[in-house]
Structure formats: structure tokens, C-alpha cells
Structure 1
Amino acid sequence: MLHTRTAWLRAAAPVAVLALALTACGGKKDASGSATGSGADAGKNAVDTVAKTDEKPTDPVGGGALESGQSGTGQYKEESGKITYEVVAQKVHVGTEDEAKKMVQAANGLVPATAYVKYTNKGPAVVKGLAKVANGTEIYADGQRGGMLIGAPDDLPGCQDPVDFDNWQVGESHVICQTYMIPKGARSLEVRWGDESAADPLVWKFADAG
């Protein structure tokens, strides 16, 4: 599905400075760079990649690889304690190199990729304060972890900002997005989710990034 306007750059100028957590070959998240930018025209080559639409069971499963349409369950440590979540990566939106350059300095050869992930609070408690569960989301391109874009807009179409729901009730679901920079032309994408202590994260495989 093509976008008629660049989702990442639609905020009014000047865009807030973004920090890019660059990682090479699975490096740590805390390396950072700087970025500047402003509103931009449409990314004509931006695409959404979604898992194949075969009819698959949607019953929650444990860690590891997931079939298209399957959800997984796992625990994440929030301010109110460990919460069990049902999680499903819905799609990844891949942008263009021009968009990346307007967002991050020295972004040659990179494109932005945003994972849309739906989380359902399965209990045992209400999530109070700012939910951190989306911090467990990572995007891998051709087997390598991308660079997390810290400060990317949370109000992308179809995404929700955790600031807007500070009392996340049991049984309630929200779609939270995370944006990473990945190499242009990557042929395979994976969305991985899990607490830092999880030995076996949930993994969804998506069609190539084109």
C-alpha cells in the first residue's frame, strides 16, 4: 500500500532532533548519532510489508518463530510489575532513502522501517504510568539488527502513543510502533519482541523490503 504523504515527516517544521541508535552486527542499543530535518513530500516508493495472508491459528504461543497471523505471549516488566502480554506484529512500513536523509545525518544507504505491533494486557494488573512494552520490539533486516530511531513520531497513522493511556486495563489492546533504520534493498525483515531477560524472543518474518 503506497502512502500519499510521508508518515515520518508529516510533523510541522522544525522537526524535533532525533537520536539514532546505530547498531552493527547486533551491537548494543545505546550508541547514538544526531539528526535534523523538516516536513517533506511523499515517499513514492514507501511500502508496507505484511506477513502472508494464509489462514493460520491465532492461539497464543510461546517464544520463537510465529506463523502468519499468530500471536505470542510473554511477560514484560512494567512499573506496576511483570505483565503478561499477547503480542502480534501486524506489518512493517518501509520508507525511502530520501526520507531517511531528512531524518538522520549520514543516513546514506538506509531507509526507515516502522513495525506496527498490537499488545493486549493479559494481566494480572493494570499497567500504570508509561507503558514500556514496546521497548522490547526490534527490527532485523537480512539477519542484522537495524538502528533504532529514538524520538520518531508516535502518532503515525494506525499507531498509538503510550502517553495517551496511562492506566492500561486488563483485556485492553493498543498498537504501538517502533521505527528502525535498515539498509536499503534488504531482502528479508523480521520483527522480534521480548523482555531483555527473555532467552527466546517472539519472531515474525515478513516479505522482502523491496
Structure 2
Amino acid sequence: MPRPSVALRLGAPLAVLPLVLTACNGKDGDTGAAQQATTRAKPSPSTSTSAPLTAGDSIAGTVKEDNGLVTYSVAAQQLTFGTQAQAKAAVQNPADAKGKVIATVRVRYTHQAGPTVTTSTNADDATTVWAEGQRGTILLNSPTNGASCDDPYDIASWKTGQSHTFCEYYLLPATAKKAEVHWSEDGGRPYVWTFAGPGA
């Protein structure tokens, strides 16, 4: 599966990627076209694969990697929020971030079974963050890439039993009382972790 040409790296030019849904849940595709599109969000799926999950709860799911199927344990560990001023400073057009904050999600993936992953992983492709029934706008780059976050593009050998924590960054409404982290297997209904929102 193709990967974005720009990874989440400290110091990279800041850009907001409006939501353009693709086979990889909107994280891949033509960045130039996406930046010209109007920011839109798809309604949240009405049903979940599991009972409600909270921070740290883990589920097992299978992901198609380049060299075969891998089973991962997936746990959304944390969802934190910045300020509206930080959100405006992080985008090229401050109007795009009006009334919004940056949400940072940390998800831990543990390789449970399958071949060693020797190229950039697809494990995090299906991770998204939602609020008020709409998917947040993903930030292709972030003002900060925390020390607790691994870079999925730097993984050269991910073996059974090893874990990595990946971070993603979204714009969410500052008034949202509740936020959700979604992850799903290919074509499956999402697993949903519920967190207090920035307006709680």
C-alpha cells in the first residue's frame, strides 16, 4: 500500500490535509489535490465491533502488511488536546482552525503473530479520531512529535512480541464534550475508544 510522501517529523513544513477518503481511510492520496479540497467529514459509523472501550483497553486485529497478514494487539492509550491558538499557528490558513484544537492520539500496537514487518507498517492506517459524529481533520505534520511516539516509517524489523506507539494529530471542535478513537481491520466495523473531549 502506498504511504504518504511526508512523515510526521519535527520541523517539517506544517500542512493540514483536508479529509479525502481513500482505501487507506484518507491517509494516503494526492496531497496537492487534497489541500485544494473543501474540508469535509464523513458521518461516524453507527455500529462498533465491540463493547465500548476506554483508554488502555486492547483488542486484537489482523492487518495486511506487504509480506503477509499480521495480528496486532491495538490499544488507544491517550488523547490529549492543545489550545485554539496552537491550532491556528499549526496551519497555513488560521481560518481553517477557527474554533478547533489539536488532538494528539497515542496508540500502542503489539505484534502478536505473523511475519516480521520489514517495511513501513500499515498497522496505523485505519486509525482515526472523531468528535460530534464527524471525523477530525488530520494534520499531515505536527508542531511537535513527542518523544513517546515512534515513527512508523523508520521501522525496519518488527518482530512478534515487540510493541510500538504511534501518534497522530487532528483538528477537533474545541467545544466537543466527547471524542472517539476508531481502528478497524480491512473492511471491518471499527473498534471505538471513548475519551473526554476538549470541551468536557
Decide which of 176, 187, 191 is 1:197's aligned counterpart. 187
Structure 2 counterpart of 1:65, which letter? A
Secondary structure (helix, strand or coil) at the match of 2:125 reads helix
For 2:105, the equivalent position in structure 1 comes to 115
Decide which of 77, 82, 86 is 2:73's aligned counterpart. 86
For 1:180, the equivalent position in structure 2 comes to 170
Give the CA deviation at 1:154: 7.7
- Is the contact between residue 141 and residue 188 of structure 1 (CA under 8 Å) also seen in structure 2? yes
RMSD across aligned positions (CA) = 2.6
Higher RCO (Cα < 8 Å, 6 or more apart): 2
- Is the contact between residue 76 and residue 194 of structure 1 (CA under 8 Å) also seen in structure 2? no
Superposed, 1:47-58 pairs within 5 Å as: none
State percent identity of aligned pairs: 35
- What is the TM-score when the length of structure 2 is the normalising length? 0.74
Structure 1 pair 95–194 and aligned structure 2 pair: CA distance change class (3 A): same
Specify every segment of 5 or more residues in structure 2 that has no aligned partner in the other structure, as ranges: 1-8, 37-47
- Structure 2 residue 143 is matched with structure 1 residue 141: no
Structure 1 counterpart of 2:73, which letter? E
Residues of 1 paired with 2:10 and 2:73: CA distance? 31
Residues of 2 paired with 1:133 and 1:173: CA distance? 11
- Is the contact between residue 134 and residue 178 of structure 1 (CA under 8 Å) also seen in structure 2? no
Secondary structure (helix, strand or coil) at the match of 1:32 reads helix
- Structure 2 residue 51 is matched with structure 1 residue 65: yes
- What is the TM-score when the length of structure 1 is the normalising length? 0.71
Q: State how many pairs are aligned.
A: 168
Structure 1 pair 84–11 and aligned structure 2 pair: CA distance change class (3 A): closer
For 1:33, the equivalent position in structure 2 comes to 35
- Is the contact between residue 181 and residue 193 of structure 2 (CA under 8 Å) also seen in structure 1? yes
For 1:208, the equivalent position in structure 2 comes to 197
Residues of 2 paired with 1:154 and 1:97: CA distance? 15
Structure 1 counterpart of 2:62, which letter? Q
Structure 1 pair 123–149 and aligned structure 2 pair: CA distance change class (3 A): same
Decide which of 16, 22, 30 is 2:13's aligned counterpart. 16
Specify every segment of 5 or more residues in structure 1 that has no aligned partner in the other structure, as ranges: 1-9, 35-61
Decide which of 74, 85, 94 is 1:98's aligned counterpart. 85
For 1:166, the equivalent position in structure 2 comes to 156
Structure 1 counterpart of 2:132, which letter? D
